[in-house]
Amino acid sequence: MTALPSRLAALAALSLAAASALAAPAEETLRLKFQAAGGDAAGSLQVQFIGYRDQRCPVNVQCITAGTAQALFWVQPSEGAGQVLTLSWPAAEPAKAGGYSLQLKSLEPRPNTRKPPSPADYEAVLTLHKLAGKP
């Protein structure tokens, strides 16, 4: 009968591990002002918004196409080397780094010919999606 408490302890440990794995979101939204940094809830990935190229149609102009924009990020996993990722708008294929896929959802503000935005005005919104099987 002494084996029962150790089996219960093992079962409790497995239950706690499963609960913490379920508590970690598979997808997170990250909002970063220009030059700001943030990361995933688990603390395993840091992302800094380091640059942008904005060739979208200005809000006060009527254009034939919407144009494109790119946001550049320094991505540093908790383990391994950091790298610069360029994410495009409209959203292209997600980029992968540190066990996550990253995708740019928006870059604001849009250009304006009357009052061009300053770099400090820019905010990038991206999604971080935890890749299956990655710690």
Q: Does residue 4 register a pLDDT over 80?
A: no
Over residues 26-42, mean pLDDT: 92
Q: Which residue has the higher pLDDT, 56 or 132?
A: 56
CB-based contacts of 108, cutoff 8 Å, min separation 6: 122, 123, 125
Say what the pLDDT of residue 21 is: 47
How far, in whole angstroms, is CA 53 from its chain's centroid? 18
The DSSP bridge pattern shows strands 95-97 and 83-89 to be unpaired
| Between 5 and 99, residue with greater pLDDT | 99
The torsion angle over the Cα atoms of residues 56, 61, 64 and 70, rounded to 10 degrees, is 0
Cα R_g (the chain), whole angstroms: 20
Q: How confident is the model at residue 19 (pLDDT cuts 50, 70, 90)?
A: very low
Question: Considering the entire predicted model, what is its pTM?
Answer: 0.77
Give residue 42's pLDDT: 84
Q: Which amino acid is at 88?
A: S
Which pLDDT value is given to residue 24? 52
SS3 81: coil
